[in-house]
Structures are given as C-alpha cells and as structure tokens.
Amino acid sequence: MFTEHRTQTLAACARHLSDFGLAAEGLLDSEDALSPRLTLHFKDGRREIDVEAHYRPTITADAAFQFAHSSRSRRVLIIADRIHGRTADTIRDTGIWYIDSAGNAYIRDSDLIIDVRGRRPTVGSPPTAALDTIEAPANTNLFSTVRSQIICAILTRPDLLNQPYRVLAEHSGASLGATKATVDLLSDSGFVERFGRKTTLARGPELLDSWAQAYPNGLGRSNEMMRFEADPTAWHAPDSLIWAVSGEQAAPEIIRNPQTLTLYVKTPGREIPADIIIANRWRKSPTGSIHVSRMFWTDLPGFRDMKTAPAPLVFADLLASREARQIEAANDLRRFDVRFESLRPTRL
C-alpha cells in the first residue's frame, strides 16, 4: 500500500511540475524511493537545477527542517501526499521547497517563483488521516519572533522551565503571557514534558535544529538593525554599550581569520548608537560583512563569556551565513562542544 501511494504521489507531483514548466528527471525512476536525487529542467531549455528530494506520506515542519539541515545539497524539495496549510506556511517562511499531490508547491530560485496554495486533494488521493495526529496545534507558528526569543532562552538554560514564568520572560525579553503560551505550545508539540511539578525539555536536539533553521527568516530578520562595510576584525565598542558577538567571531578556537562580524547590541529603541558607527568608520551597506542586531535577551550565559551570544544563537548565526566553513563549524559545535551537552542526542 505504501509503495502504491508513493508511486501515485510522485506521478502526480511530476505532472504538476510539468504544468509549472519543469521536467523532473529522476523523480520516478530513482533507486532511492524515499530520498531521490533529481534534476529539474526548465522546459524552455534555460537551465537545470539539481535537487535533493525527500518523500514522506505526510510531513511536519520539524521533519522538513531536519531534512534541510542535514542535507549536503543547496536545494531540498519536500514531497508529500499532502502538506497541511499551517505546515506549508512555516516551511515556506524558511525557504524550503515543497510540493504535494494536490499541486500545492513552493519553489523559488533566481529566475523562478512557484507559489501555489489552497489546493485540496482530489478524490482518490492517497489517504493521510492516520498520520494527521502528528501535526502541530492549528493556527500557530512555533517559531514566530517572540516565541523564538523564548525558545532561545530555554535552549540556553533548560532549567528555566522549572522557574516561574516571570523569570523565563525576563531572560527572553518577552511578556509573561507570551511566555506561558509558548511553553504550553511546546508541551502540546511534544518538546516539553511535565511530570508532576517538574518540567523538562524533550527532543532538545530536534528543537534546536528546527529553531535554528527558522531563525534567519524569523527572529534573525526581525532583530537585524543594519549592515555595514568595514574591516570586521578591527573594531571596538564604547564602554557604555552592552554588546555580544555571535557567529564566527564567537568561536575563534574553531574559526580563524574571521571575515564577518555578527554583533548584538542592547539599545532602548531600534537605533544603533552613533558613536560605535563613527568610531569604527562603518559604512552602511545592504551586503556588508558587519551585521548589527538588537540584543533581546538579558543575563543568559554567553557562548564563551558575557561578551558572546548564547550558544544556540551562535549556532544559528553560523548556519545562517550559508558559508561552507561556518556551516561546518556549526555542525562541529552541535556534535562535540560541551556547551551543547544538555541538547545532544544520546547516539552522538
């Protein structure tokens, strides 16, 4: 039955891709039925795109993030019998490509945008009801900006789950109501478990990976204040400024000769203090190598010290760089660094 459903779905997706002007070479004849490598050819002959595909009867956002994070390919295409609207919204926001048997799809490249939503399965489509129970609660985005702040604090200090909500709210820079709602949502999603009066973080590695995957287009984008161009290694901050570095400059023991600066600053508003810009002769540039963002947290342990961002944030910023050396460093930290010990899977 599974093979039949898979064949039906792959054939339907191939037809939809053809309708979109793409021919999917390798989709139906791959030796790897669950993770075929395929090539999308533009029918007008412009070019082709190599893609690593992953088929599952149904998919959650967490599973999609895992596939994208573990992939060695720049392009990942999620294929499913059905992708629910709320799941599609979440993975679309992080830039992951997908298509389902109904023709809902998101594929975006330099000269290509396919964004189809709201199509319902036709009669005879492969059933997915038995798997729908693993969906996250309806009408929620687990990795919205405020929830991501709270999750960052939890990933940094899982013990905060056993503190009053007020304490977690203060550390994450969120309201008390948002903090309680986020912990409840994490519990409903299986990331937090309650045993009597004790609350523990469950599936920590999966939550870290999913949160980090969503970070660039969510919390990271929301908190970015400005980019500058200058020497990223020759800078200094005013004594009065509260700041923390992230990304490659937070991990000099594994990344030498950094080429970027990721800096978080604590300011009352959205304005970067002029004295740090003037003193370092930074020049505004939308593609600059110096990224300055708002510091949203308070009194969370830094990756190395209080002048470095929390470990999960360093991990997320390294991944967000999309540079091979930084991504490799992020994966090394994730697997071996003692600061991720409490989140590390037992198999590693």
Q: What's the pLDDT score for residue 346?
A: 34
CB contact at 8 A, 157 and 142: no
Query: Does position 168 have pLDDT exceeding 90, yes or no?
Result: yes
Query: Does position 28 have pLDDT exceeding 90, yes or no?
Result: no
Pairing of strands 37-42, 22-25: antiparallel
Q: What's the pLDDT score for residue 35?
A: 61
290/240: higher pLDDT: 290
Question: Are domains 2-134 and 145-214 of this chain identical in fold?
Answer: no
Q: What's the pLDDT score for residue 191?
A: 86
Query: Does position 31 have pLDDT exceeding 80, yes or no?
Result: no
| Mean confidence (pLDDT) of the chain | 82
List the domain boundaries for the chain.
2-134, 145-214, 223-341
Q: What's the pLDDT score for residue 29?
A: 56
Which of 154-168, 241-255, 298-312 tops mean pLDDT?
Answer: 154-168
- 279-285's contacts with Cβ under 8 Å and 24+ in sequence apart are 279/236, 279/238, 280/230, 280/234, 280/235, 280/236, 281/230, 282/228, 282/229, 282/230, 282/235, 283/228, 283/229, 283/230, 284/226, 284/227, 284/228, 284/229, 285/227, 285/228, 285/229
Query: Does position 32 have pLDDT exceeding 60, yes or no?
Result: no
pTM: 0.62
Structural tokens at position 179: 């903090």
Residue 299 confidence class, pLDDT cut points 50, 70, 90: very high
Q: What's the pLDDT score for residue 136?
A: 45
Please state, in angstroms and as integers, the Cα–Cα distance from residue 332 to each residue in 254, 306, 324, 325, 329, following that order: 9, 22, 12, 11, 5
Query: Does position 53 have pLDDT exceeding 80, yes or no?
Result: yes
Q: What's the pLDDT score for residue 220?
A: 92
Query: Does position 33 have pLDDT exceeding 70, yes or no?
Result: no
Mean pLDDT of all residues in 87-114 = 87
**304 phi, psi to nearest 5 deg:** -115, -40
Task: State how far the Cα of 201 lies from the Cα of 168, in Å rounded to an integer.
Answer: 14
Half-sphere exposure of 229 (CA within 13 A, CB side): 6
CATH of 145-214, one of 1.10.10.10, 3.30.1360.200, 3.40.1780.10, 3.40.50.300: 1.10.10.10
Mean pLDDT of all residues in 288-295 = 93
In which residue are the tokens 């390294």 written? Answer: 318
Mean pLDDT of all residues in 270-297 = 90
Residues near 341 by beta carbon (within 8 Å), at least 6 away in sequence: none
The lowest-confidence range among 63-72, 230-239, 319-328 is 63-72
Say what percent of the chain tops pLDDT 90: 34
21/264: higher pLDDT: 264
CB contact at 8 A, 193 and 199: yes
Longest dimension (CA), the chain: 67
Mean pLDDT of all residues in 296-310 = 89
CB contact at 8 A, 126 and 101: yes
Residues near 305 by beta carbon (within 8 Å), at least 6 away in sequence: none
Residue 95 confidence class, pLDDT cut points 50, 70, 90: confident
* pLDDT tens for each residue of 104-127: 999 988 778 898 888 887 644 444
| CATH architecture for segment(s) 2-134 | 3-Layer(aba) Sandwich (3.40)
Q: Which residues pair with 284 in a beta bridge?
A: 228
* pLDDT tens for each residue of 122-154: 644 444 433 333 334 444 678 899 999 999 999
Q: What is the DSSP string of 113-176?
A: EEEE----PPTTPPP-GGGGGGSPPTT--TT-HHHHHHHHHHHH-GGGGGS-HHHHHHHHT--H
Structural tokens at position 63: 């599973």
* pLDDT tens for each residue of 335-344: 777 667 666 5
